[in-house]
Amino acid sequence: MTAQQAPASPTLPQNDTPQVQAQRKAQLASAQATYSWTSDVQTLPGIPVVKGLPSEEEPNLEWGLKLVGILLKLVVNVLAVQKQVHAQQGDAIAQEAIDAGEKLAAAVAADVAAIQAKFDANTGNCPKGGLIEHLAEEFVEDRLVEALKGHVATLKGLLNTQGKVNAALAAASPPQIADYRALFDTISCPGVSWQLLDDLEFARLRVAGPNCMLIETITEIPSGCPLTEAQYAAIVTQDTLAQALATGRIFQCDYKDLSVIAPEAGSGKYLYMPIALFALPPGSQELVPIAIRCDPSDASCPVVTPSLAVEEQWGWQMAKFIVQVADGNYHELVAHLARTHLVTEAIAVATHRQLANLHPVWALLLPHFEGTMFINYAAATSLITAGGPIDEIFAGTITSSQAQAAAARLSFNFTDKMLPNDLAARGFGASSMLTNYPYAVDGMRVWTAIQDWVLAYLALYYADDAAVSGDYELAAWAAEIAGTGKVDGFPGPQTIAELVDTCTMIIFTASAQHAAVNFPQKAVMEFAPAVTGALWQALPTSFTGQAKSDWLELMPTLDIALEQLKVLYLLGSLYYRPLGDYKSHDAPYPAWFLDPHVEGPLAGFQAALAAVETAIDAENATRRVPYPFLKPSLIPSSTNI
């Protein structure tokens, strides 16, 4: 099979001859038959996605090898945990089953190593425009991909812990933090596991954690969390609440948008919609938490503040954990699934359907959609189904979790969520007092690099604004995204500047924004006592007089914590093709762009990304905790995991 690449001479439809225009129309008709719409996926109610999974969207060998490598590491860890449990129980028969599992995993690893060797021998730097005409006889990508699929099925089977193990893990009640750490036997336990009680770390996660998109500057204390001057003065010395508000140094995270989620009665799982307040003390760039109200809808629910009093310390830790559970739900269902994966899929489907493969915007965007439909199909058919990980780990009934993701997707406004617009709307424009906001600072660096690249690229094909407004394929594309695709606020670009912003937002969302929400899952969220999806006890009637055991009882049992580890370690470990590395999806993975005019702008983009990386490395050397998630070398080009 010939590898698909961008056209050597992209053209705008209005400039083509009638014959070429007819060819474009025929090609689009074929694409529209392959990429048809549906809004009837049961697990994503009302969300426009591709109908079925086109074979063209199946992952390639390169991606599959990365996946299997991660699964092997997980299997080794899970088998080691099972071995611990059975050793404690003295179960010799189960030990034999684990030994057999280890042998099976070793056999898979040996075969995968052989496939990797064939892959390495037959791919690599392919000259632009040239293909390896005669692959070695044993290197047939489709056959090797099928072999990998078999290995994936085997490894997933080994990851399913045995009933006795789950029962033993569930029976450890309440587990101690050391018990959660013990689930990380052969893989590293994240550093956050030693920072659970740290208020500075709790605050830092609002600007450098999995969900950096909710915090906002406020100018008055919300009625839902009525912090007083006296309470503030006891926390932040040599300051007043009025002065902090007036100078833009008070911030909130309000989880009111989680109202769609409904825990099932009798499930033992709970979720609240807290408001958490943070302050920037005078002369500091470190946020501190100052107040939490766990249930603003309950007039009797107190405002909890940090305290050194013995009788109040564990109540404060419980309030923080209640926020972390809300944050886990907002992150996974809103910021991650809805506003990266599902938004990008709608744009990807419309791009295939309305932009011919001669179109320069099609050529620019297509690599940023690689793997998205496949991974979304996997999520819709396993992750967010009844009995799946979201159902097991998160608080809501599975139908309410699905509905929450759907509501978040449909309320997403494309223009409002462009990074500069979103930051400004949340009070983090140029005049913001908070400069230590790693997601915002690094994100704007990446945004600017992408924007400059898009401008240089589009200038090759659009001579002026009239070329944009006269592009009828582009107009149909924008109309379908906003209409059938239900992406609110998606503009119909009429000028080069508008098209640059639109394409910048698409590329940023598919690459950097997804990286910012995906990869902290491994660094932070794989450890359930740091962030998880449900509380396992109801809100206490008082936050005074609570003990460490009360805090621990809010957390999931060890079997659920292990399930969370498996899912989030996998999702947060797979890095495939960094931003700026444009290659074909198909073996032997030649360079994507064939137009020689693209060479200069692309080289400029790659140099700009290298400069961003250098700047972030320098910044991380001075940050109290490094923020690696928006380093360009760690940003995949597309949402493919």
Last residue of a domain, one of 295, 318, 341: 318
Half-sphere exposure of 174 toward its Cβ, with a 13 Å CA cutoff?
15
Report pLDDT for 285. Answer: 95
Same-domain status, 122 and 77: yes
Residues of the chain with pLDDT under 70: 1, 93, 124-139
Q: Which letter does DSSP use for residue 366 in this model?
A: G
Token couple for 590:
């030649």
User: How many domains is the chain built from?
Assistant: 3
Q: Which amino acid is at 525?
A: M
- Residues paired with residue 253 on neighbouring β-strands, in sequence order: 276
Half-sphere exposure of 19 toward its Cβ, with a 13 Å CA cutoff?
0
Q: What's the domain range around 261? A: 197-318
Distance CA 369, CA 638 (A): 6
Q: Radius of gyration (Cα) for the chain, nearest Å? A: 26
Token couple for 262:
């409904």
Distance CA 18, CA 293 (A): 65
Given its phi and psi angles, is residue 535 left (phi above 0), alpha (psi -120 to 50 degrees) or beta? beta
Same-domain status, 231 and 331: no
Distance CA 314, CA 307 (A): 10
Distance CA 409, CA 337 (A): 8
Same-domain status, 465 and 481: yes
Same-domain status, 303 and 377: no
Report pLDDT for 124. Answer: 55
Number of other residues whose CB lies within 10 A of the CB of residue 47 = 25
Residue 246: CATH number of its domain = 3.10.450.60
Residue 379: CATH number of its domain = 1.20.245.10
Q: Does 183 fall in a domain?
A: no
One DSSP character per residue, 110-148 reads: HHHHHHHHHHHHH-S-PPTT---SS--TT--HHHHHHHH
Same-domain status, 307 and 331: no
Helices (H) and strands (E) in the chain, counts: 25, 6
Same-domain status, 292 and 353: no
Last residue of a domain, one of 171, 205, 231: 171
Last residue of a domain, one of 318, 352, 375: 318
Contacts with 240 (C-beta within 8 Å, 6 or more apart), sequence order:
229, 232, 233
Distance CA 82, CA 164 (A): 9
Same-domain status, 221 and 350: no
Q: Does 15 fall in a domain?
A: no
Same-domain status, 308 and 330: no
**pLDDT tens sequence across 508-560:** 999 999 999 999 999 999 999 999 999 999 999 999 999 999 999 999 999 99
Q: Does 52 fall in a domain?
A: no
Q: Does 73 fall in a domain?
A: yes
Q: Does 3 fall in a domain?
A: no
Distance CA 447, CA 505 (A): 8
Q: How many angstroms separate the Cα of 319 from the Cα of each of 208, 297, 383?
A: 20, 15, 29
Place of tokens 């699905």: 402
Q: Does 166 fall in a domain?
A: yes
One DSSP character per residue, 54-113 reads: -GGGS--HHHHHHHHHHHHHHHHHHHHHHHHHHHHHT-HHHHHHHHHHHHHHHHHHHHHH
Q: How many angstroms separate the Cα of 514 from the Cα of each of 49, 195, 210, 568?
A: 18, 25, 10, 14
Q: How many angstroms separate the Cα of 9 from the Cα of each of 6, 418, 439?
A: 9, 30, 38
Number of other residues whose CB lies within 10 A of the CB of residue 157 = 11
Same-domain status, 228 and 262: yes
Q: How many angstroms separate the Cα of 598 from the Cα of each of 364, 370, 446, 591, 593?
A: 10, 20, 20, 12, 7
Q: Does 302 fall in a domain?
A: yes
Are 415 and 492 a contacting pair, CB within 8 Å?
no
Same-domain status, 312 and 423: no
The angle subtended at Cα 269 by Cα 268 and Cα 270, nearest 5°, is: 125
Same-domain status, 338 and 461: yes
**By three-state DSSP, how is residue 212 classified?**
coil
Q: Does 473 fall in a domain?
A: yes
Same-domain status, 223 and 161: no
**pLDDT tens sequence across 167-211:** 888 887 779 999 999 999 999 999 999 999 999 999 999 999 999
Q: Which amino acid is at 314?
A: W
